[in-house]
Every structure is written in structure tokens, then in C-alpha cells.
Chains A and B, each alone.
Chain A
Amino acid sequence: MEKTLNLTLKVWKQNGPREKGRFETYKVSNISVDSSFLEMMDILNEQLINEGKEPVAFDHDCREGICGMCSLYINGRPHGPDDDVTTCQLHMRKFKDGETIIIEPWRSAGFPVIKDLIVDRTAFDKIIAAGGYVSVNTGGVPDANALPIPKPDADEAMDAASCIGCGACVAACKNGSAMLFVSAKVSQLALLPQGRVEAARRAKNMVARMDELGFGNCTNTGACEVECPKGISLSNISRLNREFLTAKIKD
């Protein structure tokens, strides 16, 4: 027999950024342990619609842990009680029958609530716009193999580039800092010769934009690394700090 769960959900409901939110309590039953967390949310919403009520709004798209669209603070943890996964990859086998699950949006000054569990993360795009790229136009570039790159550097750059921009690091941080996110992009590009040229300037501009947008300071608590679904390492923050210092010295 397939195992199923009966659950109580306490879900954050909020109509808009300026309105006050509140918890609503719902019950769902016969949830298969093989279903994903978001499938459980689908079942809840189907139930609400059938009762003529408005469903709970939450962000999601790829449902395979790569787009970074899903969020949710579940029982006090960004992306819920499993390691190295996003909320869409979380499965109900991680919960117990009869459990009460508390579901909240990311809470951070940098990410205002849009509706219910959906927050506005456009601040991340603005940080990238401040310098998270190599300044090349389309066309007129050298052959891809013109510049050999040591495999360890390429692999390390790839690890840093795995960031999905979900914002769990910010949600996990008591200061609401976006340092892990920023450092992942700065590191990826600083590790590759193509991005090396602008490394110091990039670090300076991205950090300045981050500060402008209301994210807090990094005090090295390490909470971000623990909750990051993609295993982005704190060592990226050290690299960012080095690039940042270089930029400051040059100024």
C-alpha cells in the first residue's frame, strides 16, 4: 500500500506589499509520500477552488530545481527540511503523518511580498545589471579554443556559476545580506581569463548596487551556505572580498 499523510498547513496569506498578512490554517488529507511538496500545494489549491475560495499564490516554474523560481520558508527553513534541494524538489516523504507545516514567504527587506508566498526578487537582476557580465558584444570574438583554461579553474567557475538566483541565502541570513549570491557571480567570472579583465570593477559595482538596494551586511554567520540548495561555498565570499579590496586600493 502506498503511504499517505494527513496534514495541517499554516500558510501565510497577504494581498499586496502594503497590506498586512496573516496565517490561514488548512487541512489536507491522503497526500502520497511520493508526491512533491508543490504537488501537495496543488492539491490544496484544487481543494480551495472547489470550495469557491481563492487559491494560495506561490512561485514555481521548472519544478526540477534549476530555474530558481520556487521559494517558500517551510518550518523555519528556506526550501524546507531537506539538504541540497529547492522547494520543488522537496518530497512529502520528509514529513510525518499528522504534522503541522508552517509555510511562509522569503522574509527580507530586499524582497517585498507581492502576494501570499510570492516575493519580488528583481533586486537580483539589478545587481547583475551593475556588472555581472563580461562586456563583449555579439560577434567578433576569438575562437573558443584560442585560450586554454586549466580544468580546475573551469570546474571551480562552473561550481560558482551553479547559483540559481533563488534568494534562499538572503532569506536565511539574519542580516538579509546577498553576499553569497553576489560572490558566486564575481567568483565565476574572476576565475576565467575572459572575466578577469573587469574583475575588480565588477566586484565594486555589484557590491555598491547590493548596498543601495537595502540588503544587509555580511557578518560571516554562514547560514547562507547551509541553506543554499546548490552548495555555493563561502569561499566565494572570501574571493569577492579580495577583489573588492583590490578595487578599493586602486581607487
Chain B
Amino acid sequence: MAQKWTNYKAHQKLVNPSNKRKLDIIVVGTGLAGASAAASFGEMGFNVKVFTIQDSPRRAHSIAAQGGINAAKNYPNDGDSVYRLFYDTVKGGDYRAREANVYRLAEVSNSIIDQCVAQGVPFAREYGGLLDNRSFGGAQVSRTFYAKGQTGQQLLLGAYQALMRQVELKTVKLYTRNELVNIVMVDGKARGIISRDLVTGKTQRHFGHAVVLATGGYGNTFFLSTNAMGSNGSAALQAYKKGAMFANPCFAQIHPTCIPVHGEFQSKLTLMSESLRNDGRIWVPKKKEDAEAIRAGKLKPTQIAEEDRDYYLERRYPAFGNLVPRDVASRAAKERCDAGYGVGNTGLAVYLDFKESIERLGEDTIRARYGNLFQMYEKIVDDNPYDTPMMIYPAIHYTMGGIWVDYELQTSVPGLFCAGEANFSDHGANRLGASALMQGLADGYFVLPYTIQNYLADDIRTPRMSGDEKEFVEAEKESQDRLNKLLSIKGQRSVDSIHKELGLIMWDFVGMARNKEGLQNAIEKIRAVKKEFWSNVRIPGSNDGMNIELEKANRLADFIEIGELMALDALNREESCGGHFREEHQTEEGEALRHDDQYAYVSCWEYKGDNQEPELHKEELKYEEIQLVQRNYK
């Protein structure tokens, strides 16, 4: 295992410099994964076209990541190593990730930090001038590098700047406000995409010897999530429809520390970084009558005496305490609220309290660590977290599932690669904090630049296509037909109203706790939403020019199908693991109960046509390095 990546690199095929210029690569997405890949391909001498739906690559959703990025540097000398990062990631993922990919991820993690520092990413430092680390959920070492509460922003700006340097050097051509609407297949290989210019409404055909999707996760299937408003699953779903398998769609992560929902007009949920759990303690009142008084506005949290507070994570998991993995922390919050101990006016909130840390470290230290998060909270909730505990509740945050890829990050469609959150590869059934940034940059800077060459080396004699070939023309027509069809429905309901309906079904039945009956029910309901959408959505305006409702409708059509796929997958997986909790499968203490004898596999779903059940393929997970055990954070 430890030698696998080194051996791969030593024996893979390479493309010589003069041939690189003859090869075109399309990269869709400019988040950490896409921007880092596109910049690196450009530096290597390939011809790159890169697409993003935002007005600038710098605005990709990766910008919002707060907490940090993991690496096995072991700078604090607290016993970290590549093996331990690998082990923690596999364990954190509840033993549903592919060992070889995770090992490689841990192995390249250190190079990421070196690269980012060289780019001028201003990571936090200690007084001695060296890099500072903090700890994150699911680990007993401090291996998380951070830049205030804006780590994703700084890493993305580093990758974005590297990308803009290549744009200036003309190795990369940038298409902003441009959305992938179709993937073009020629002789069984991905050879291009159809894009739609969101300003003019016009579609365009683009050829590439290879296509990389780095389009992020599909958490917005739930309508309310911590994802940016534009995050979507459309590129992944289009790939699925062209033959790429969709893996583990039901593995979605619910993040424990988000600002609770405040009303039905709410448009998104705001995450409060998990790093807050380093210094904040989570609690609810011990007595039901206190919780009731708080909900009625008669008591304040600061009036509850120390002995009347239930620090339930510290009580249930003394070894990890407030730093248990996200799925564990989320379910524990739900458990307390369902039992009637929740706070806030809805009862769907718990406290995250900094009083003790402020006493111990001083307000200035806490401000230096989390100042921007506290400010964000105060602006939203109108409460000062330095004086009164924050209120938090779990929300949908990240999707571990995604397009299936092999060790080379190639999908089941030759020539189509997938990186970052859009693929399924490294996090199993649950992702540890600070590991998504690591994975996105690992894929883009240090994996794809090697593996894509191994593929392209066989393509040096394939001439560029003009985009006038019948496959391109047909794919473009297919997309235009769909857009026209959407516009012709002229129904009664707005896109958002239908999306909210889908979101509620997902949250109620395919959310934090799932069961057979609920999932069957959800599938029926999602199919009804699909029918409603295709017969009753109302999209004002036309297809020539900017039309935001049309953009949203086009994405919602895909979210509905992803929702159904998530429910189907959750129904199939008769076990609990990581973010997937089936109520029928729990231990006596209410912890997730895996069934390794039956479900130690990746569910890979193959598209079989509209309104047909997809076919399930299983990739068995063989563990050579790590022994499967029940996760234990006690």
C-alpha cells in the first residue's frame, strides 16, 4: 500500500512536451479541485478550457470553507504520520472508503501545504514564525492548518491566482458564467461538452481529448443546506446519464454546528465552523422544565447553573468529548432535542458555549481564533456570543457520495475524470473535518496531473475535432430541447416552491435518521414532485438572454432525480454507517451498527433510462492495512 502511488508514478505513461500542446483538456468547475487541476495542466503545457457558473473562478463554493485543511506534517510532534491520517480518515469514514485512494490522499497531503505556502497563502503562524495547527473532530492530534476562519478562501485564492497566471500565459481559456449542460460522447469516450452561456443564453460545443468534472457536491438537493445557492448536482447527473456510475448517493453529511432555521422564507443555512468545538462546549439543560422555560423566553442560558447543564457529548464520549465526528455529534443533538431538551424558540437547537474558554484564555485569544465567525453569528442572530452561548443545530453540509472513479480518478466513462466533492472517492460514509479541502487540492495538484497523462498518452494521434461532428450537434440539440421543454410548461408554481417541497421530503425521510417505510414513502413522494415539476413549473422569460429562473429549473430537474437516487440507495443499504443512519440498525446504546459481512461495498448505480430503476453494481471493499472494527469514540 505504502508503495502503490510511488510505483504507479514510476511506471505510468507520460506525454512529451511537444505533444502536450496538441492535447485539449476541458475542466468543468473552478473550486479547489478544478482550479488546481486546470492551473497545473496549463503549467504542464496542455491546452485547457475551464468553465464556471460564477462570474469569476474566485467565487466557487470552496471559498466558504472556514475551518482548515489537514496534513500529516507532524509539526507539533504529537505522534502524527501519513499512516495515522490514512487510518483516521478510513475510520472516520466508517470503513466504507477505498483504502488505496485514502492512503494516497494522506501521502500527498504534506505537499499541499508546501505548495500553498509557496503561493503566498497566509496560514496562521506561531510567534516563532512557524506554522500553527489546531485539532478537528475525529482526530487526537493537531494536524489542521488554517488561515483565520477563512481557510477555504485563502486556498482557493491561491489556486485561482495560479489559474489566472495561466490564463495570462494563454495556456488556459476561461469561460465564466458558463454552465455545462451536456457531455459529448464519441465512440464510447467523453470528447467534449455543451456549455450554456448564462448571459446570452446561447449554447456552445467544446471539444476536449479528456473532460474533468470538478463541479462540487449535491447537498442542495435538500434546498436548505450550508452550500452556496448555486451549488448543484447537474454536471454529475448528466455524467450519470451518459454512463458514469453514481456511487453511494445516500452518503450525505449533516454538520452539527449550523445556525438553526428561523423561518419558512429562509434561503440557506449558515455553518459555524467545526473548529469552534475546540474551545466551545456543547450542552442543553438537564431539566426539562428549564428547557421549556428557555423556549418560552422566560429563562436565559446564562441563568442555568453549572450543575443543571448536560454536556451530553462529554458525558457520552469522554475520550473525544466535543470533538467526536460530525455524524455522531449531529445525531446526539437530534436525540436531545427529540427528547424535549432542545432550546431556542423552536426547540430545535443546542448551546455551544465559550464561557469557560474565555475565562481560561481571555476574550482576545478567542477573538483572534474565531472573530469572523462570532461576527457572522452576531449579524445573523443579533446575539453576542462572547456573552451568551451560541445556538446551533445540524444541517446538510457535504455529500460523500458522487460519481464513481477508479484509482486514476477516471469514471466508468473513458476520458471522463471526476475530482473534488463531485467524486465519491475518499471519505467513505462520513467525512472528517478539514479533509475536503485536502482532497480537492490533492486531486487537482497531485493526482490528476499524473493520471490524466496516462490516459492521454494513447491519444496523441487523435486529431482535434471541430465540434461540427454529429455527436456534438446531437448533444447540443438534446440540451436545447430540454430547455425549450422547460419553458413550454408554463405552469403555476415557482421553481423555489417545488424545490422547497423536495427539500422537506429529503430532510424528513432521507435526513439524519432513515427507515424502510419512510424511504419507500419518500420515493413515492419524490416521483410525485417530479410529475408536478414537469407539468406545473412556471418560468417567466425566454431562452435568449439571462434567465435565472430557467437556470434554477434546469438544476432542479436534476436535483429531483438525485433525490430519488439517494432514497433508493438508502433503502438498499440495510445497515447504519457514518452519515447513513438506518433506525432499524443500531446498537443498544443507539450507535450506528454496520453489517460488514453484507455491506462492505460501494454501491454503484448505473442509469438505465428515464423512469427506469437504475442497476446496482457492487465494488467490494477489501481491507488489507486496516482491520474493520466498530467505531468507538468513548
Residues of chain A whose beta carbon lies under 8 Å from any beta carbon of chain B: 2, 15-16, 32, 34-36, 38-39, 42-43, 46, 48-50, 52-55, 57, 59-69, 82, 84-85, 89, 91, 93, 114-115, 118, 120-122, 124-125, 128-130, 132-139, 141-145, 147-151, 154-155, 157-158, 161-162, 164-165, 188-189, 192, 194-195
Which of B118, B126, B130 is close to A134, meaning CB atoms less than 8 Å apart? Answer: B118
Interface pair A138/B56, CB less than 8 Å apart? no
Task: Name the residue on B nearest A50 (C-beta).
Answer: B494
CB proximity of B184 to chain A, nearest CB, Å: 27
Contacts of A48 in B (CB 8 A): 540
Cβ of B131 < 8 Å from any Cβ of A? yes
CB distance from A120 to the nearest CB of B (A): 7
- Contact in complex: B382, A49 (CB < 8 Å): no
A129 CA to B165 CA, complexed, in Å: 5
State the Cβ distance, B380 to closest chain A Cβ, in Å: 7
Cβ B164 vs Cβ A133 within 8 A: yes
Taking a contact as CB atoms closer than 8 A, the residue among B57, B116, B380 that contacts A91 in the complex is: B380
| Given A114-B546, A125-B176, 10 other A-B residues pairs in contact with their CB atoms under 8 A | A52-B540, A55-B549, A67-B61, A84-B375, A124-B56, A128-B160, A133-B164, A137-B43, A149-B125, A161-B154
Knowing A54-B540, A115-B546, A162-B150, the reply to whether A194 touches B117 (Cβ < 8 A) is: yes
**Quick one: which of A82, A115, A121 contacts B56, CB cutoff 8 A?**
A121
Whether B538 sits at the interface, judged by CB under 8 Å, is: yes
Contact across chains for B548 and A57 when beta carbons are under 8 A apart: yes
Of listed A35, A59, A137, A141, residue having the most chain B CB within 10 A:
A137
Which residues of A have CB within 8 Å of B174? 125
A89-B376, A145-B75 given; A62·B540 CB < 8 A: no
B119 touches A134 (CB 8 A): yes
Q: Choose one: B160, B161, B263, B449; the contact of A32 (CB below 8 Å).
A: B263
Give 9 nearest A-B pairs by CB, closest first. Answer: A148-B129, A133-B161, A141-B118, A158-B122, A129-B168, A129-B164, A144-B117, A157-B122, A138-B40
Segment at the interface with A among B265-273, B287-295, B387-395: B265-273
Complex CA distance for A143 and B114, rounded to whole angstroms: 5
Selected A-B contacts with CB under 8 Å, 10 pairs: A42-B496, A48-B540, A49-B549, A66-B150, A69-B55, A129-B165, A133-B165, A157-B122, A162-B148, A165-B56
Where chain A touches its partner, the secondary structure class is: loop
Who on chain B is nearest to A143 by CB? Answer: B114
A-B contact number at CB 8 A = 220
Q: B630 in the interface, Cβ–Cβ < 8 Å? A: no
Given the complex, which residues of B lie within 8 Å of A49, measured CB to CB? 494, 538, 540, 549
Q: How many residues of B contact A (CB 8 A)?
A: 79
- Assess the B228–A150 pair: CB atoms within 8 A: no
| B43, B176, B229: the one within 8 Å of A63 (CB) | B229
Complex: how many Å from CA A53 to CA B540?
6
Q: Which of A2, A65, A145 has the most CB of B within 10 A?
A: A145
| Pair B549/A135 contact, Cβ less than 8 Å | no
Give the interface centre of B59, B75, B111 by most chain A CB atoms within 10 Å: B59
> Is B300 interfacial (CB-CB < 8 Å)?
no
In the complex, the answer to whether B445 meets A138 with C-beta atoms within 8 Å is yes
The reply to whether B54 and A69 contact each other, CB–CB distance below 8 Å, is: yes
Q: Report if A122-B168 is in contact (Cβ < 8 Å); known contacts: A39-B267, A66-B63, A66-B153.
A: no
Question: Among the listed B230, B262, B538, B549, which residue makes an inter-chain contact with A61, where contact means beta carbons less than 8 Å apart?
Answer: B230
Complex interface bits, B487-515 against A, C-beta within 8 A gives 1, otherwise 0: 00000001011000000000000000000
A61–B30 alpha-carbon span in the complex (Å): 14
In-complex Cβ contact of A148 among B57, B61, B128, B229 (8 A) = B128
Residues B305-331 near A (CB distance < 8 A): none
Cβ-closest chain A residue relative to B263: A32
A35 close to B265 (CB less than 8 A): yes
Residues of B within 8 A of A134 (CB): 118-120, 161
Q: Are B546 and A118 in contact (CB under 8 A)?
A: yes
B120 pairs with A195, CB closer than 8 A: yes
B298 on interface, CB distance cutoff 8 Å:
no
Partner pick for A151 among B127, B176, B497, CB 8 A cutoff = B127
Chain B residue contacts of A139, Cβ below 8 A: 111, 115, 445-446
Contacts of A147 in B (CB 8 A): 117
Which residues of A lie under 8 Å from residue B114 when comparing CB positions?
141-144
Set B63, B129, B130, B267: member contacting A38, Cβ < 8 A? B267
Within 8 A of A (CB), among B24-63: 36, 39-40, 43, 54-59, 61, 63
B 71-104 binary contact with A (CB < 8 Å = 1; else 0): 0010100000000000000000000000000000
